[in-house]
């Protein structure tokens, strides 16, 4: 602690004169602002959390004692608090999804074929695509009402982003008012915030001149600049913006993607001049090659090229999967490679007990990023590639994909090197690690798993990390390091104990705020973040449980299939995979759920420890039921629909997507609970089964009429 700080805090507040209080409030406002700036802008601290808290508490105490002396720039009135990520959450009514990736000409060609099949198009019917560079920046959604800028949000997890309105408002290229007669009443402009190469160099030079930390690349600089809690810092950065799409809109000025983007330009929004239209895959691939050749001359970073279907009605028909639109794809830059030394192989134990080998590498730069770890996938992969500790290895990093080891440089191998022996004992708990045998195929699983279950501390910690992760409970201030500390310190051993942490802390003789790395303010922020997550959506709750084979997409599928937690728990609890009963068949019939997932889910709910854990957890949280994903009243909302035979005007996938959009549940097989069977030509056994059960059978035209009612 500095001498100034000690002096400032030495005199009791009630003993201060008005002049002393005025002077100290001025000093405190300046000092707290300076520490906020350093912390948020340069990711470091000059004082400990506890000392920062003392500054803040001192300021608040003086303001309470001298209310007439409160300054306009009081730290209590500022947006920028000590904790990072204190932005308000904003819901994206139209999700901001990611893009599927292509890394080869073959994958690009497959993309075109998938669209043709989904839309049931003739082979000779042209599909016009929009092509544009994929800017490497930070995605944002900017809302205009009656042409006026009202709000901006980051992508976040696609469903909820951070409110960065004040920061985005500082972008000089972005109009506050859109100009044009065809501007919709409401429209969300989506685009990329980025830094040009020239501006990045100027910014880093300024950082050097002021003895501040420089940025590693333009993307990190742009993302860090936009997410400042002090908008003045953002305003001082030369951020730019390209508009490339839209979210919610009351109307659109064109029926094509290129037409809408052209309207953006008329309205005053910056758009990319390199947008082109092509209707042949060969022309799209040539565009990619041309952009790659021009890459160094563009003046900004890209990480590939984006292709989108131009017709908006086709975009709507194609819809989206859980993570990406079906009508767009990113053709990523060629994967970059490097050669380095494999210093060690570390075995990590995951939340489901999987033992994953991680290559510990001598640090090497690949595509501007320093790589020191890479995946080795599994035991079989190490054997197949004959990877040994001490080898020179070739690694590859493609886009945002985790770096992987391609193979070894065997002619450089030391003559005394030994083959790596994969452990058969869990390194975390000492339990046996086995490769499970598939009952149907008789083959061993490629993954070796710890059999320790709940006694394995590594699994317990990883489950906790998964529980608080972004797509689960998303608790601010609880990262990997914090979970490690809370677990090792005995404060939190399971998810339910997170919600008892605040109460237990109030009774503790060694409260969290007294521990290294914590302070009163940071602990209060943590408790507030935990309290804010006592209510959660059903799909996030299912995902948070860490059930094997249940990722985000499957969790969403289960949530929409059952609607609420009580229904899910009631139906799954009585299902038995071993006897293949009606309840189990009901789960299997859910579109997108296979036998592996169905078995994993039913097994989870039969484990006594899991039921005890759920009972305790449910006493602390509220689970919101699913809101049906349709905007208008639909005759098929809540109905169960199956399809059989070949449809003539729709592909099977499009028909299923339409049903789901209007709130129906699509199943893969018939049961007594099925409401409709849509039958095309060349039907199978489903038709006779439907007639036996008295299920309503619709032909294709009747189905389309029902959708349009």
> Looking at the annotation, which residues are catalytic?
134
Cα 657 → chain centroid: 23
- SS3 of 459, please? helix
Asked if 311 contacts 255 with a C-beta cutoff of 8 angstroms, the reply is yes
Token representation of residue 284 = 């799209």
Q: How far apart are CA 387 and CA 407, in angstroms?
A: 7
- In order, the DSSP letters of 540-594 are HHHHHTT-TT--HHHHHHHHHHH-SHHHHHHHHHT--TTTT-HHHHHHHTBTT--
Region of 156 on the Ramachandran plot (φ > 0 left; ψ -120 to 50 alpha; else beta): left
From CA 387, how far away is CA 413, in angstroms rounded? Answer: 10
Does residue 337 contact residue 371 with C-beta atoms inside 8 Å? no
Q: Which two tokens stand for residue 528?
A: 């507030």
Q: What is the DSSP letter of 333?
A: P
CA 379 – CA 650 distance, rounded (Å) = 44
8 A C-beta contact, residue 129 and residue 278: yes
How many CB atoms are closer than 10 A to CB 512?
22
What secondary structure letter does DSSP report for 601? H
What one-character-per-residue DSSP string does 110-174 give? HHHHHHHHHHT--TTS---EEEEEEE-SEEEEEEEETTEEEEEEE-TTSSEEEB-HHHHTT-TTS
Contacts of residue 694, Cβ cutoff 8 Å, sequence gap at least 6: none
Q: 3-state DSSP call for residue 620?
A: coil
What is the torsion angle, in degrees rounded to the nearest 10, for the CA atoms of residue 604, residue 605, residue 609 and residue 611? 140
Looking at residue 628, the DSSP 8-state letter turns out to be P
Q: Are 642 and 670 within 8 A, CB to CB?
A: yes
Q: How many CB atoms lie within 10 A of CB 105?
A: 15
Give the SS3 label for residue 239: coil
Which two tokens mark 3? 């001498």
* Structure-token pair, residue 575: 């299902």
């Amino acid at each position: 602690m500095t001498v100034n700080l000690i002096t400032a805090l030495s005199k009791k507040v009630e003993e201060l004169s008005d002049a002393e209080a005025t002077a100290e409030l001025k000093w405190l406002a300046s000092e707290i602002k300076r520490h906020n700036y350093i912390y948020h802008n340069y990711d470091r601290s000059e004082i400990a959390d506890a000392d920062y808290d003392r500054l803040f508490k001192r300021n608040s105490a003086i303001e309470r004692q001298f209310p007439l002396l409160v300054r306009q720039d009081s730290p209590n009135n500022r947006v920028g608090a000590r904790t990072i990520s204190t932005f308000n959450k904003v819901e994206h009514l139209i999700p901001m999804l990611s893009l599927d990736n292509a890394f080869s000409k073959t994958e690009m060609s497959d993309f075109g074929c998938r669209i043709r099949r989904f839309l049931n198009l003739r082979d000779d019917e042209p599909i016009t695509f929009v092509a544009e560079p994929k800017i490497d920046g930070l995605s944002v959604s900017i809302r205009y009402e009656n042409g006026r800028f009202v709000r901006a949000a980051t992508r976040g997890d696609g469903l909820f982003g951070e409110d960065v309105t004040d920061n985005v408002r500082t972008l000089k290229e972005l109009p506050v008012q859109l100009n044009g007669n065809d501007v919709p009443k409401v429209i969300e402009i989506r685009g990329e915030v980025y830094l040009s190469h020239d501006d990045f160099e100027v910014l880093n030079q300024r950082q050097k001149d002021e003895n501040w930390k420089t940025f590693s690349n333009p993307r990190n600089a742009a993302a860090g600049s936009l997410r400042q809690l002090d908008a003045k810092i953002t305003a001082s950065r030369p951020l730019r913006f390209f508009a490339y799409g839209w979210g919610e809109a009351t109307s659109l000025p064109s029926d094509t993607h290129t037409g809408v983007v052209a309207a953006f330009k008329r309205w005053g929004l910056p758009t990319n001049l390199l947008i082109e239209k092509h209707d042949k895959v060969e022309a799209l691939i040539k565009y990619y090659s041309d952009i790659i050749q021009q890459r160094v001359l563009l003046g900004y970073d890209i990480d590939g090229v984006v292709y989108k279907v131009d017709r908006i009605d086709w975009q709507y028909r194609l819809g989206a999967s859980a993570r990406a639109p079906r009508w767009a794809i990113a053709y990523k830059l060629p994967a970059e490679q490097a050669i380095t030394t494999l210093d060690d192989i570390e075995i990590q134990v995951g939340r489901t007990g999987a033992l994953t080998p991680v290559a510990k590498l001598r640090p090497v730069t690949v595509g501007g990023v320093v790589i020191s770890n890479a995946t080795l996938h599994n035991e079989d992969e190490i054997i197949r590639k004959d990877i040994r500790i001490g080898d020179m290895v070739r690694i590859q990093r493609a886009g945002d994909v985790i770096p992987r080891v391609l193979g070894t440089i065997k002619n450089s191998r030391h003559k005394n090197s030994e083959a790596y022996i994969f452990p058969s004992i869990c390194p975390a708990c000492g339990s046996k690690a086995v490769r499970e045998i598939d009952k149907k195929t008789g083959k061993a699983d490629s993954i070796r798993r710890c059999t320790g279950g709940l006694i394995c501390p590594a699994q317990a910690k990883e489950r906790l990390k998964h529980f608080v992760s972004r797509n689960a409970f998303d608790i601010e201030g609880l990262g990997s390091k914090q979970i490690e500390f809370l677990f090792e310190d005995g404060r939190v051993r399971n998810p339910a104990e997170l919600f008892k942490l605040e109460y237990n802390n109030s009774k503790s003789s060694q409260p969290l705020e007294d521990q290294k790395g914590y302070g009163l303010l940071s602990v209060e922020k943590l408790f507030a973040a935990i309290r804010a997550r006592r209510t959660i959506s059903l799909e996030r709750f299912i995902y948070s449980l860490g059930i094997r084979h249940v990722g985000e997409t499957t969790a969403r599928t289960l949530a929409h299939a059952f609607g609420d937690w009580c229904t899910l728990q009631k139906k799954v609890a009585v299902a038995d995979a071993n006897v293949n009963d009606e309840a189990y068949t009901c789960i299997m019939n859910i579109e997108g759920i296979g036998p592996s997932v169905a078995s994993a889910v039913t097994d989870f709910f039969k484990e006594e420890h899991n039921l005890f854990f759920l009972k305790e957890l449910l006493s602390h949280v509220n689970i919101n039921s699913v809101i049906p994903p349709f905007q208008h009243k639909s005759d098929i909302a809540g109905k169960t629909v199956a399809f059989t035979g070949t449809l003539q005007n729709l592909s099977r996938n499009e028909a299923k997507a339409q049903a789901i959009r209007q709130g129906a549940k699509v199943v893969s097989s018939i049961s007594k609970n099925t409401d409709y069977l849509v039958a095309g030509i060349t039907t199978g056994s489903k038709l006779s089964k439907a007639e036996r059960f008295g299920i309503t059978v619709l032909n294709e035209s009747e189905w389309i009429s029902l959708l349009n009612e």
